[in-house]
Structures are given as structure tokens and as C-alpha cells.
Amino acid sequence: MDNFNGPGMDNFWLKQAFERLGKPQVRSLSKHVLADVTIVGGGYLGLWTAIRIKEESPSLKVVVVERDLCGAGASGRNGGFVTSYWAKYLSLHKKCGTHEAARIAKSSAEAVLEIGTFCRENGIDAEFRADGWLWTATSATQVGCWNVLLNELAKHHVRPFEVLDNAEVARLGGTDRNLAGVFEPGAATVQPAILALGLRTHAQKLGVTIYEHSPMTRLERTRTPKVVTRKGSVTSEKVVLAMNAWGAQFSHLRRKVAIVSSDMIATTANPDQLNEIGLKKGVAICDSRMFLNYYRNTPDGRIVFGKSLGHFAFAGRVADHYEGPSPRAGEVEESFRNLYPMLHGMDVESSWTGPIDRSVDGLPFFGRLDDHPDIFFGIGFSGQGIGPTVLGGRILASLALDEANQWSHCGLVRDDVEEFPIEPFRYVGSILVREALRRKEGLEDRARRPDALTLAIAKLAPVGYVPSRRN
Ligand SMILES: Cc1cc2nc3c(=O)[nH]c(=O)nc-3n(C[C@H](O)[C@H](O)[C@H](O)COP(=O)(O)OP(=O)(O)OC[C@H]3O[C@@H](n4cnc5c(N)ncnc54)[C@H](O)[C@@H]3O)c2cc1C
């Protein structure tokens, strides 16, 4: 066992988690071992999968192989918004039909509460605050973009969102730059790295063996698959790939996800100033752009502010593009200052970036890698993974355990996944679309109409939160 000392040490949330919990002891894989199930990737998805398998079949030997430290990927560096799939109901409906879309969305709302219960029951102080999600508009074009969704949900007598009057939106968000909005009371926020480390500890308590600092260097797709690392290997009946953006290295998945950055900053703590503007509770807030602004306070009185700015990985190669401080922190700070000019005294203390595994329809998908009967994957969470990986864990556990149930037959287990164009067209196209979106949204912020070409290119963007013609 070593004391962890990897790249995750620079991460704002992980650093805070280590200060509170101490540095975890890590063990790497240095020999050949046998297991029943090997899970590659120790983020939320891999850990929930491991936990579900052990809960159902305690006698199985379950191994997690992690490149860095569990939670050092997106799970330990996200915004901490724990939201349901009700906002993505239209996309779900298009893929899975009314009944299954409603079932998945309902389960995703239950998953939010389940995370709270999991933390409470297992003594994990991940700052779970069920203070809701405020979905806003910051330009006239964005106002009412949720109506098509709310109208569709109302037809099924589902009303997860409250329509707020504009003064209430401004009050709840602590800024009058939010012009209008709707509120989902069932949403929550967490300290993401503490949740990831809590899942890690819980998995270990259930008997899951976790090898960290052990990147998989090769996957042998033999009848009994083998996960090979630099100094060891695991042969097991089943393999689950829960590698997020890093999974795009498999040719089977490469064109089904585009890897883009999301970039975040955290300010210094000033709870008094947040109190003054009314940001007392832990409401999660985002606007209705494609390159979303998302932000909230922390219990110690900071603002964490994120923006999906889209640094694209050519051909799904993640490399080191998503490690360390954000090269786009200045642009994120500018958006924060535009929304909260009155918080000028709160400096940016930290910035970071991370990879998002964006699918064309904004939904994750699950299946068998290259039709191998015993190698499963889950990918494509598209920047919304904290709640949905709870469902993802159920899906992957059911598949790995050969169960025939509502999760192994879930509408998100699918082959008909739309693909992005081949390289270099995807890369060049992504940059064109990103610049068109920047221009469009910049003009809309200044109450100006974008030209027809800009609008046409911007419409090629994959599906986000905002309901569009592609839903
Ligand atoms: C900046 C940012 C902000 C976000 N904000 C939110 C938010 O507010 N709300 C929300 O719901 N979602 C958010 N997300 C998305 C969310 O974090 C992810 O969808 C979720 O963490 C996915 O979990 P995962 O386990 O699939 O991925 P990860 O946590 O990335 O786990 C994958 C793991 O695989 C490991 N790995 C990769 N390659 C190998 C290899 N060769 N061998 C072994 N291990 C390997 C990685 O090290 C990593 O730990 C955000 C993401 C980012 C980057």
C-alpha cells in the first residue's frame, strides 16, 4: 500500500476531500489475479456497478482497476449538480417511447434521493443539499425554451418543474441577470470528490478489491477476457468498461462520443457576501445555452462556476488535455463576473478542467463491446452523470450478472447509437459549430439576431438540456 500522490492532488475538490478525510492508501496491481468481474474505471459508474454486484452476489470476486485514484476522473472534478432526467425527457421519449422514458426519468429522480440516503446511511459527509435546480434564461431567446418540455410532461400529468415568476428567479439565483426560469425542487448538490471517495470506501467494505495507479494497457478479448496493466493482469468471466471519455479509445465507441472539456473555477470563501445577495441555500443554477453556464455556492461560502467551452479531443484522444488548471479560466471568470458583478471582492482561487463524453442525443448508452458476450460498457453521460450513474450501475450490474430484468432490457441498452462524422471532419466541424454557437449566444446576450448561416451551423450541435428540433 502507498500513500496516494498522483495528479488528482491538484484537484480542488479532491484536495478539500483529503484535508477532511486524510489521504487514502492505494494499492496497485503487480501480479496476475483471477476474478469473477473486473471493472475498468473507478469513477461513479465503475464504483456503483461494483457495489450493486456485491450487494446482489456477495460471494463474487469483484476487482476495480483504476488508472489514477478513484474519483480522479470526472467524478472528482464536476460541478456537483445532482439532477434527474426530467429535463431530457424529450430525448428519452424519442429513443425509448413514452412508458420507458417516464420509467427512466422517474428512476433518475429517485436516484437523487438515493444518493442522499446512501451518504447519510454510510456516514459520508458529501455536503448533500436537496435545495433544487433553477433552470434559467439570460437572454430573450432563452426565455421559455423549456415550454415545449413542460407542455409534453403535463400531457402525462407529470410536473417536476415549478414555473417561477421573474422576481423569484432573480431572488433565488441572487442576480437579476437571470430573466426567467423554472425550478426543479427534487434536485440536489454534493461535494463530488467526497461522494466518489465515499463510494470507494463503501465498495471496499463490501469486499471489492480496488487497484489504483494501475492503468489498463491492453484488453485481451479472448473467450475469458483479460485486463492487462503495466505490472499485472486480471482474468475474469466478465469485464465492465466504465472509463468515461477514456473509453473513446475503443474503435467501437470512438465515433459515438465526442470528447469536449468542461471548465470550472472556485472563488475564495465569503459567506457574508453570498448572504447579502440572497444565495443562502445550495440551489444549483444553470442557464439555457448550449455551452452551458452552471454555478452554485458551497457550504463554506464560495461560488463554483462551470462552463462547457468545448476543447475537443481529436479522434477521442484524451491525452493530458483535460488535466490541471483550466486554460480557459479567464473566459469562465468573465461569465461569472457578468452574472455576479457585485461579487467583485471574491477572487478566483482555483480552476480546473475535465472531459465530457458527449453523445449525439445527450444520453448515455450501454452494451457489449464489439458484440463480445462478456465485455460490457457504459458511456455518453454528456455532462450529467452524478444521478444517472446510479442507474448506470444497475444496468451494468444486471448485464454482468446475466440477469433479465428492467435494467438489462432498459431503453438505454441500445445499438442504434447515432455517430459523429469521421475525423478530421468531426474535429473541424466541432470547431465550426462551437464558434457559431459562441457567436449566436454572444449576439443574443446583446439582444441581437444572429445571421442565417450562424444559426444553421449552430443547429448542428448535439443535443443538450435545451429542447430543440432534434429532440
Ligand atoms: C468539469 C465537469 C463538470 C461536471 N459537472 C457535472 C454536474 O454538475 N452534474 C453531473 O451530473 N455531472 C457533471 N459532470 C459529468 C460527471 O462528472 C460524469 O458524467 C461522471 O462523473 C461520469 O462518471 P464515470 O465513472 O463514467 O467517469 P469518471 O469519473 O471519469 O471515471 C472514469 C475512470 O476511468 C479511469 N480510467 C480511464 N482510463 C483507464 C485505464 N486505461 N485503466 C484504468 N482506469 C482508467 C479514469 O481515471 C477515471 O477515474 C461534469 C463533468 C466535468 C468534467
pLDDT computed for residue 424 by the predictor = 81
Domain holding 246, by residue range, is 2-77+192-256+362-400
Ligand 1 shell residues, CB under 6 Å:
40-46, 65-68, 72-75, 77-81, 215-216, 242-244, 246, 262, 264, 306, 354-356, 381, 383-386, 389
Residue 408 placed within a domain: no
DSSP string, 347-361: -EEEEEEEEEEEETT
**Ligand 1 pocket: which of 39, 52, 75 to mutate (most atoms <8 Å of CB)?**
75
Contact 136, 287 (CB under 8 A): yes
Mean pLDDT confidence for 169-186: 96
Residue 334 is assigned to a structural domain of this protein: no
Give per-residue pLDDT as tens, 391-448.
999 999 999 999 999 999 999 999 889 998 787 877 777 788 888 888 888 888 888 8
Q: Which tens digit of pLDDT belongs to each residue from 69-105?
A: 999 999 999 999 999 999 999 999 999 999 999 999 9
Atom of ligand 1 nearest to the CA of 382: 19
Q: In the prediction, which pLDDT does 465 show?
A: 57
Distance CA 250, CA 364 (A): 16
Helix or strand or coil: residue 211? strand
According to the model, what pLDDT value does residue 471 have?
53
CATH number at residue 241: 3.50.50.60
The rounded distance, in Å, linking the Cα atoms of 417 and 327 is: 32
Q: What is the pLDDT of residue 4?
A: 42
The count of domains in the chain is 1
- Asked whether residue 427 is domain-assigned, the answer is no
Residue 462 pLDDT more than 60?
Answer: yes
Output the pLDDT for position 464. 64
What mean pLDDT, rounded, does the chain reach?
92
Question: What's the average model confidence in pLDDT over 269-287?
Answer: 95
More confident residue, 9 or 418: 418
In a domain, 117, yes or no: no
Q: Does 166 reside within a domain?
A: no
Atom of ligand 1 nearest to the CA of 352: 1
Q: What is the whole-number distance in angstroms between the Cα of residue 455 and the centre of ligand 1?
A: 31
Predicted TM-score (pTM) of this structure: 0.94
448 falls within a domain: no
Alpha-carbon distance of 385 to 199, in angstroms, equals 15
> For the chain, what percent of residues have pLDDT higher than 90?
79
Q: Which atom of ligand 1 is nearest to the CA of 262?
A: 1
Counting atoms of ligand 1 from 1, which one is nearest the CA of 264? 1
Judge whether 378 lies within some domain. Answer: yes
Q: What is the pLDDT of residue 2?
A: 44
Contact 3, 23 (CB under 8 A): yes
CA distances for 205 relative to 209, 358, 386, 398, angstroms: 10, 33, 21, 21
